[in-house]
């Protein structure tokens, strides 16, 4: 069962991830103009594997986290919404010691 505060945190993370993805795809003509950056899969949006890796690297840098390779390759994490839920569940274990505080903000 979701707790309202957890849902708010997940939604905040989702919004931050969608903003990162939006910045990365703004000039990419291969990305559909009507793409739902929150819910569509990365493949449906039109991301290449290089775009996806750039997204992950930006997420790590902006949120101050270290995403494990297993998560990077997990096919269940195919959209911003799924990534946000994963990051909210694993927040404490993903935070890097020096910059992990930025993830909470």
Q: How far is CA 60 from the centre of its chain?
A: 9
DSSP string, 30-99: TS-TT--TTTSBHHHHT--HHHHHHHHHHHHHHHTB---HHHHT-TT--BHHHHHHHHHHTHHHHB-TTT
* Per-residue model confidence as pLDDT tens digits over 43-74: 999 889 999 999 999 999 999 999 999 999 99
* Per-residue model confidence as pLDDT tens digits over 67-97: 999 999 999 999 999 999 999 999 888 887 6
pLDDT category at 29 given cuts 50, 70, 90 is: confident
Note the pTM of the prediction, 2 decimals. Answer: 0.82
> Which domains occur in the chain, in start order?
4-104 (1.10.1200.10)
Q: Are 95 and 103 in contact (CB under 8 A)?
A: yes
- pLDDT recorded at residue 100: 45
Q: Are 64 and 74 in contact (CB under 8 A)?
A: no
């Amino acid at each position: 069962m979701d707790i309202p505060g957890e849902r708010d945190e997940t939604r905040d993370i989702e919004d931050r991830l969608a903003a990162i993805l939006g910045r990365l795809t703004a000039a990419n003509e291969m990305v559909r103009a009507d793409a739902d950056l929150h819910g569509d899969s990365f493949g449906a949006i039109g991301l290449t594997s290089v775009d996806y890796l750039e997204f992950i690297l930006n997420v790590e840098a902006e949120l101050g986290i270290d995403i494990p390779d297993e998560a990077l390759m997990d096919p269940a994490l195919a959209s911003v919404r799924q990534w946000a839920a994963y990051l909210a569940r694993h927040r404490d274990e993903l935070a890097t010691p020096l910059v992990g505080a930025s993830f909470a903000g």
